[in-house]
Amino acid sequence: MRHGTPIAGTFLQRELAVITGAVEAMVVDVQCIMPSLGGLAGCYHTKFISTSPKANFPGTLRMEFHEEEAYDTAKEIV
């Protein structure tokens, strides 16, 4: 939603999006994260990446985000 980028779905549709198999990776930070997403993503070979130490759930690949290194972190994630 930031900068005019449309969202693909709501908070409640994230699990459904992963289950379709169309999601290769999901990157989350701190807000509105279902702890079950890490385990679910693993069942569908979807990378579940957290950029915040506050969102460190089982099945999560953690790649901390720091504003001064944003471009490099984004390239590493992709």
pLDDT digits (tens, 9 = 90+) for 3-25: 777 776 777 888 998 999 888 99
* pLDDT value of residue 2: 64
In a domain, 77, yes or no: yes
* pLDDT value of residue 43: 93
* pLDDT value of residue 33: 81
In a domain, 3, yes or no: no
In a domain, 4, yes or no: no
In a domain, 70, yes or no: yes
Instruction: Give the separation between CA 28 and CA 50, rounded to whole angstroms.
Output: 5
In a domain, 49, yes or no: yes
Task: Look at residue 1 and tell me whether its pLDDT is greater than 70.
Answer: no
pLDDT digits (tens, 9 = 90+) for 24-66: 999 888 777 888 888 899 999 999 999 988 888 888 899 988 8
Q: Which domain holds residue 53?
A: 25-78
Q: Provide CB contacts within 8 A for 48, sequence distance 6+.
A: 25, 26, 28, 37, 38, 41, 42, 57, 59, 60, 61
In a domain, 57, yes or no: yes
Q: What's the domain count of the chain? A: 1
